[in-house]
A and B are shown apart, each in its own frame.
Chain A
Amino acid sequence: MQFRNIKEELTVTKIRKEIEREIEEYFERKGFSIIEPRTFQAYDDFIKRNLVQDSTKVVKVLGGDSKIYVLRPDITTSILSQIFSKWEGEPPLKVYYNSKIFKNTPRGVIEQRYQMGIESLGDEVEKADIEIIQMAINILNTLEESYILEMGFSTFLDTLFKEANLDKSDELKVKELISKKNQSELSYMIKSLNLNNQVLANIFNLQGKISDVLDKIKSYDLSIKMKGHITYLENLDQAFTKKGIEDKIRIDLSMIADLDYYDGVIFRGYSSSLPTKLLSGGRYDKSTANYGMKVPAIGFMIDMDLLTRTRLKEVR
């Protein structure tokens, strides 16, 4: 964030710190312990574990030992390597962080972004999904403006692709088109590949209130595995309805996660005044295997720069 003058810088920092304290207190109350991510990570170690993004965005530094280190580009992967080197996998571990990430901008300047977030490791899947989504909604609920939690289920699309029997390069293209909500080009592609898949053809109709979408999809021809996914989502919907938060959630079964490491519920939080998502997260059990042990894992991250921006408008 660029500041016009020192007064603005102090005001913004003060507000951000206030929000940070509120959220820290909330996380503590929910039984999460603070963890301090390492700032530097060995480059080799980092590359090995990460399917990561664009490596040109990662800030690299040279250590006194002539080895290359990266300046933390992502907090979850950083704390996972910390945790898994010392943790046996049980009892369940709940941690939160309040920290910064660094990245190179296209112009070559190093940018720092403030992030807070939680990770729940080793807890029972359904229970943790409900708990973590409820917490994400509680955070969004402190906004003085309308918000939506958009929820997807990456396993659903994974199963769909497997059943459609696409080859790898076609699958990547289809995924790219779905992630752009590009219904025209998707339907050209379905036609040219001669795919006869009702769910894929209607994928963008599977967005909206959870109960509406589930009703719609139940009228489709589904495999037993797909039906299993739907039953799981129904269970979640029941839990959300019981808690009275189902109105704040929109399901989007065409949602594709920004990172490949998710496998289960994925979600993003939007606020009506912001141009991009301010919260994002999901389940990533599969990728914990990269750390030597597969455990249930779910978490989310809040973009504190954006969250502070919503509060600033109220002040002005």
Chain B
Amino acid sequence: MDKLTIAIAKGRLGNQGLELFKGSEYEINVKENSRKLVHYSANKKVNFIFVKPADVVTYVEKKVADLGIVGKDIILEDNKDVYEVLDLNFGKCRFVIAGFKDQNLVKKNEVLTIGTNYPAYVESIFKNKDQEIEIIKLRGAVELAPLMGLSEVIVDIVETGSTLADNGLVVLEELDPISARLIANKVSYRFKFDEIRKIEKLLGGL
């Protein structure tokens, strides 16, 4: 049986993902401050690789990794050709439209400007709304955009809403709920079906 490779998002989401394997035959030991990007599990059957969150889906689609653990926000933005087998029920937050309290989301004959790190997702959301939009792609600190007059509203993921509140912004509309997901390459899913089902079960699948 071939080795299985799992791509994990570097950072908090990935670390929480690794927790799920603790105590199982797939557990790995990552030393604090380690910069190693490839780790083997105790039983040598699984190979974990650490990549940037936004790259997890790409690694899985191209079958460099068979499985991946990644946020639903990235899956919605990238819309890649992978299976999304399991909701891992952590890293929960929500996509929202946020802005100043009196901001109107429906503007007759006027373009609504939106600052976001998720342009493709925003486009898909507004496709069915009767409102012209202009997307301003930002890489971070999206909350700054309405404050500085760069955009009228933002679309971003929000966990508690405290960053919004600290900057005088409010949620204007709730969009999709987000959580960590287990994704699989379609070819790997068929070739390594039994092993993948076993891992699904370990991670809380049916």
Taking Cβ atoms with an 8 Å cutoff, the residues of A that contact B are 146, 148, 150, 180-185, 187, 207-208, 250, 252, 270-272, 274-277
Chain A's nearest CB lies how many Å from the CB of B202? 14
Selected interface stretch from B79-87, B105-113, B128-136, B140-148:
B79-87
What are the interface flags for B179-206 relative to A under an 8 Å C-beta threshold, 1 for contact and 0 otherwise?
Answer: 0000011110111010000001000011
Chain A's nearest CB lies how many Å from the CB of B71? 14
Q: Does B63 contact A (CB under 8 A)?
A: yes
B190–A250 touching, CB < 8 Å: yes
Identify A276's interface contact among B87, B186, B205, CB under 8 A. B186
State whether A207 and B193 are in contact (beta carbons under 8 Å apart), knowing that A182-B84, A183-B206, A275-B62 are contacts in the complex.
yes
Identify A181's interface contact among B62, B83, B206, CB under 8 A. B83
Other A-B contacts than A207-B193, A272-B191, 14 sampled, CB-CB below 8 A, are A148-B190, A180-B83, A181-B184, A182-B85, A183-B85, A183-B86, A183-B200, A184-B86, A270-B186, A272-B187, A275-B62, A276-B186, A277-B186, A277-B187
Bound complex: CA A275 to CA B193 (Å) = 15
Residues of B within 8 Å of A270, CB to CB, are: 186-187, 190-191
> Nearest 5 CB-CB pairs, A to B?
A184-B87, A275-B63, A181-B83, A270-B187, A180-B84
Residues of B within 8 Å of A252, CB to CB, are: 190
B193–A250 touching, CB < 8 Å: yes
Identity of the chain A residue whose Cβ is nearest the Cβ of B86 in the assembled complex: A184
Taking Cβ atoms with an 8 Å cutoff, the residues of B that contact A are 2, 61-63, 81, 83-87, 184-187, 189-191, 193, 200, 205-206
Bound complex: CA A182 to CA B83 (Å) = 7
A275–B85 touching, CB < 8 Å: no
Residues of B within 8 Å of A181, CB to CB, are: 83-85, 184, 189
Residues of B within 8 Å of A207, CB to CB, are: 193
Identify B87's interface contact among A148, A185, A250, A277, CB under 8 A. A185
Chain B's nearest CB lies how many Å from the CB of A143? 13
Bound complex: CA A21 to CA B55 (Å) = 39
Identify B190's interface contact among A150, A180, A183, A185, CB under 8 A. A150
A275–B86 touching, CB < 8 Å: no
Bound complex: CA A272 to CA B186 (Å) = 11
Chain B's nearest CB lies how many Å from the CB of A220? 16
Bound complex: CA A187 to CA B85 (Å) = 12
Residues of A within 8 Å of B83, CB to CB, are: 180-182
Bound complex: CA A183 to CA B88 (Å) = 11
Bound complex: CA A274 to CA B191 (Å) = 11
Bound complex: CA A275 to CA B60 (Å) = 9
Chain A's nearest CB lies how many Å from the CB of B51? 16
